Each structure stands twice: as C-alpha cells, then as structure tokens.
Amino acid sequence: MTAPDKHALLRQMLRIRRFEERCVELYSASKIRGFLHIYIGEEAIAAGVISALRDDDAVVSTYREHGHALVRGVPADAIMAEMFGRSTGCSHGRGGSMHLFDAQRRFYGGNAIVGGGMPLAVGLALADRQTAATRITACFFGDGAVAEGEFHECLNLAALWRLPVLFCCENNRYAMGTVLEREHAATDLAARAASYSMPSRVVDGMDVVEVANAAQEAVAAVRAGGGPYFLELQTYRFRAHSMYDPDRYRDKAEIAAWKKRDPVAAMLAHETDLDALEQEIAAEIDAAVRAAEAAPLEPVGDLTRHVYAEASA
Amino acid sequence: MKTTYREAIRESIRQAMREDERVFLMGEDVGAYGGSFGVSPSGSGTRRCPSPRSSGAASGLPWAGCGRSSKS
C-alpha cells in the first residue's frame, strides 16, 4: 500500500467538478441536449477508486459516469464532443451523456439501465479468469441497482466462481426520487453483499483519502485471486437527479448538511498552488468546448452504419 | 441434407469449440448432468461452466466475455 497522492486526487475531483459545472451551463444554453446526470458531490469515489486501478483493468459504469470516464483517462475532448452529439465524440456522437464508451481504455461504458452494467462486469471478469489474466473489473452502480434482480444474480455468480470483480456501490441514498428507506426492506447494503460470501465494507464516500485507501486494499485482495469484493461508498449528490428533476423529495436542510462535507472543499487546504491548478483545468475544459463546437455532426450517409458488424476493407 | 434442430445445435456448438479454444459452454446443467436437452457435447474442465438459474445475468455475461476475448 502506498500513501494516496492527495494532489493527484484533488486534481481529478476538481476536473470532474469544473467539467460538470460547465456542462450545466452548456445544457442551459441548449448546446447539450437530452439527459444529463450530474455527479457533483460524489467525485471522491471516481477519483479514489479509479486511481487505485491499473490501466489494463476494466471499468463498467452507470449513467452518472462523466467523472468515471474523466479519471479513467477518456480525453475531455472526446467526452465533451459526445455530449454535443458530434462525430468526434467517444461514441461518435450517438450515445450522449449516458453512453460514454472507450474500449481502448477499457472503459466499458455508461449504461442507461439501472444495474445494466453488472452482468457485463461479471462477464469481463469471467473472460479474464478463463484466460488467467491478472487484471480486474471495477463495477460502479447505485443503491437503486441493489433492488434489481441482476444485482443478486451477479453477486452470487461472482462469488460462486470467485471472479475478479470490485463491486462499487455508490450509495447516494436516492434511487432517482425514492429514498433508501422506501426502496429497501434491509437498508444495510454492505451486509446484504456480505451474505453472498464476499468481503464487504462501508466507506465514507465523502473522504477521498479514505476511499483511496479502501480501494487499494480491495483491489489488492481481488487481484490476489480472493474473488469479488464489495465497497459500499456512502455519498450524496448535491444536485438533482437529472436536469429535468425539480428535486421536491429532499429536505433542504439535509442537502445543506451534506454540502458541509463537500469532498472537494475538504481537500483544498492541501493544495499549495490552487490558482495554477484551476487554470490548468479551465484550459483543458475550454479546449474541449471549442473542439466540440467546431466538430462535425455525423453525416446522414452514415445513418445505417454501426448496426451490424462491417467487413474489414 | 436432413437433420434435426437438436443435432444442428449440437453440431454448431461442437464446431465452435473445435475452432477456437477460448469458446466455452455456460448454462444450467452443462456439467455433470450432461445438458438437460442433450445438445451440449460431453466433457468437463474449464470449458464447461455449469451456472445457476440466473437468466438476467446470463444475458449480459457472454456479451462482455466475447468483447474481451476477441482482443489480446
């Protein structure tokens, strides 16, 4: 175990925060259309967990995945262009916010279906086990996914076959607008994972150093062949579920209380040259927006492509 | 040529497993039971993954397995 690099973790969290703040502006200006789910408040999880992975490990994500993609190394240009629906986007502009995908970086996608990524993650891990690879798959999902049938099938399969999956439950307490207590008869999600015979642990998802330490331990255990591992990362989204959500189901005092535990603000004191960092990040985002605005839409002639496999030339 | 559905499925699985050593069988009772409809070729080892009754998960698992094994 190495001590987490606080500067690097803050840098990743701040990239997500500033990138998404810009996305909100661009959405209001109708430059970004469709659905948009903002991760602000939850950045410590993407930064802490994905920083603990190797480049050849796989990541499977959710529809709130901009942060996971950024930390994974999907270029901000390719993500922003995807949001704009441009052909230079990481999914050629066909996916938009919920379907960021980059096979080269083993980022196997955002997924619009709650729990939809879980069977894919178990499949990736099964393939690695069959070929004796030492890489692992990190699978992100929310507390809402725990109520889906696939969650239980996947935890059982991964534990039964001792597959190298790191299950990362981003418990932000709300499945869209339904609070945890109205969604689950048993609200201790880590205990339910433990019932499938795998190590399971609750982590403060608002503390990036705690997340990074827990992730390092979990990744090492999975890579050593110990089978799957479950992290329940307790967190909170500071903004509404999506841009369409008027957020009437949460108490303002509850939101304010969680905002006092802002994972980004908590780390700012550790940064000696915040101005330089902010400038570096602003330049990265400015360039991404400029490139997206200048990029072409997909030609109409391509409409029927990418449906069936094409014969190589 | 005349054949049955059962024999056609059995033969296609056989061919796929012969042509690519990464191909493996996954499903209910493909191991010791021998395949409940008599279509899976007999055998054992890592190329047989008898699986629990998890049809939701099974719809996603092979997709990712295929995507992964076609590379590296």
Q: What is the pLDDT of residues A191-206, one digit of tens each?
A: 999 999 999 999 999 9
Give residue B47's pLDDT: 82
Q: Which of B22, B52, B65 sits opposite A157 (nearest CB)?
A: B52
Phi, psi for A107 (deg, rounded to 5): -100, 95
DSSP state of A56: T
Residue A88 neighbours by CB under 8 Å, 6+ apart: A77, A78, A81, A291, A292, A295, A296
DSSP state of A107: B
> In this predicted complex, what is the ipTM?
0.78
Q: What is the pLDDT of residues A88-115, one digit of tens each?
A: 999 999 999 999 999 999 999 999 999 9
> Which H or E element spans position A209?
helix A208-221
- Residue whose entry in the numeric block shows the structure tokens 């994974």: A72
Dihedral-angle region of residue A149 (phi above 0 means left; psi in -120 to 50 means alpha; beta otherwise)? alpha
Instruction: Say which residue, B64 or A258, is predicted with more confidence.
Output: A258
Secondary structure of residue A1 in the 3-state scheme: coil
Q: What is the pLDDT of residues B11-66, one digit of tens each?
A: 999 999 999 988 888 888 887 777 778 788 776 677 888 888 888 888 778 766 55
Secondary structure of residue A184 in the 3-state scheme: coil
Give residue A306's pLDDT: 83
Q: What is the pLDDT of residues A266-308, one digit of tens each?
A: 998 888 899 999 999 999 999 999 999 999 998 899 888 888 8
The Cα angle at residue A112 between residues A142 and B58, in degrees rounded to 5: 80
- Residue whose entry in the numeric block shows the structure tokens 């089978």: A227
- Residue whose entry in the numeric block shows the structure tokens 């967190």: A235
Substitution target from A153, A156, A163 for chain B, most B beta carbons within 10 A: A153
Select from A55, A57, A35, A59 the least CA-distant residue to A45: A59
H helices within A93-148, ranges in order? 117-130
The Cα angle at residue A45 between residues A41 and A50, in degrees rounded to 5: 140
- Residue whose entry in the numeric block shows the structure tokens 């999902």: A141
Q: What is the pLDDT of residues A33-61, one digit of tens each?
A: 999 999 999 999 999 999 999 999 999 99
Q: Which of B52, B60, B67 sits opposite A119 (nearest CB)?
A: B60
Q: For B50, which residue in chain A has the nearest alpha carbon?
A: A161
Contact A150, A124 (CB under 8 A): no
CA-derived radius of gyration, chain A: 19
Whole-angstrom distance, CA of residue A124 vs CA of residue B66:
9
Which pTM does this prediction carry?
A: 0.93
Q: What percent of chain A has pLDDT over 70?
A: 99
Q: For A135, which residue in chain B has the nearest alpha carbon?
A: B68
